[in-house]
Structure 1
């Protein structure tokens, strides 16, 4: 690893933190607050407006995380290729990142469907009522699962980021290189 990587680490970590934190807040805070609206027809409208305001920030967070991740892989390519466990961790983390991005994009599409049907009567932001139109109800049912899938996946990415940081300790690099030579 040549030189300091402060900027790319910041992009990677701050982007992931915003992605994780924003999705968790949205599921708990925004959707919970929208469900508390006294007028059932306002619940989807409030949630859709909030998620719409968050979408550009979330896009910047994903872009920052992606640029930072690519920079970290490039800056640590030698260690990733030679240290036992580093390459496998990087591949798994990359796959989970791509899945999380896909789920985030799909969730956004479901949010757009819900927004097109808003305002509509609903029990909550992700809970349809008997009066909710079918297209909106289907989007809500999908969003009910997706709202928890995104923080779960990004939470795993946070843990893997910590694991990769541990792998970069000099004692772990030496151990990984020795284990690689032995096997």
Structure 2
């Protein structure tokens, strides 16, 4: 029979996993699909404008996924407090997972900031009648204005960091879930109680 504690844990785990899936999947699709899809368009400004518009539309969902990951992670930590104290390695992996989530959220925010700077610099170039020649939303050419190219170079790296950290957070979560198995729990508790 499920207890209230089990219900809270199951709900927090589901919210966490769904939020993480949204964050990881959306970020990965953005890198692989949205940012490079502009290559199919002829105009450099359109290549940036379309990617910027797509990211702007996805941002509320992405941030909802990140918030779900972080808030449910806090609840999972609270519900698993005894396990952190008793099971060797659980707290260490949990702390690493939390650090990955926070770093991933910061990387995602920085990637979004770079995207905003690219869009703003592109709009400025258009107002000045300056041609915007880019390969896609994150790849400059030798003719890309430097104020756009510098942010594209940063975005080119930053766009990968968020999904990598989100994926690592999911992997750490899988490790923690496996530590709930009876054998893993017993081994972890014995590891805490018995000296090596």
**Where do 1:65-104 residues align within 5 Å?**
65-104=69-108
What's the counterpart of residue 38 of structure 1? 42
Tell me if 1:14 matches 2:18. yes
What's the counterpart of residue 105 of structure 1? 109
Instruction: Tell me, in whole angstroms, the C-alpha distance in 1 between the residues paired with 2:150 and 2:53.
Output: 19
User: RMSD value over aligned CA atoms?
Assistant: 1.5
Task: Encode CA deviations 1:14-44: one digit per residue, 9 max, x unaligned.
Answer: 1111110011000001112122212222111
**Where do 1:136-147 residues align within 5 Å?**
136-147=148-159
Structure 2: tracts of 5 or more residues without a match: 124-131
1:66 to partner: Cα distance:
1.0
Instruction: Tell me, in whole angstroms, the C-alpha distance in 2 between the residues paired with 1:94 and 1:65.
Output: 10
- Give the TM-score, by structure 2 length: 0.88
Q: Is the 8 A contact 1:43 1:121 kept in 2?
A: no
**Which residue, out of 40, 48, 67, partners 1:63?**
67
Structure 1: tracts of 5 or more residues without a match: none
Tell me if 1:158 matches 2:170. yes
SS at match of 1:102: helix
- What number of residue pairs does the alignment pair up? 183
Instruction: Tell me, in whole angstroms, the C-alpha distance in 2 between the residues paired with 1:117 and 1:48.
Output: 12
SS at match of 1:3: helix
SS at match of 1:131: coil
What's the counterpart of residue 122 of structure 1? 134
**Where do 1:168-183 residues align within 5 Å?**
168-183=180-195
Larger Rg: 2
SS at match of 1:123: strand
1:147 to partner: Cα distance:
1.5
Instruction: Tell me, in whole angstroms, the C-alpha distance in 2 between the residues paired with 1:121 and 1:82.
Output: 59
1:132 to partner: Cα distance:
2.2
- Give the TM-score, by structure 1 length: 0.94
What's the counterpart of residue 129 of structure 2? none
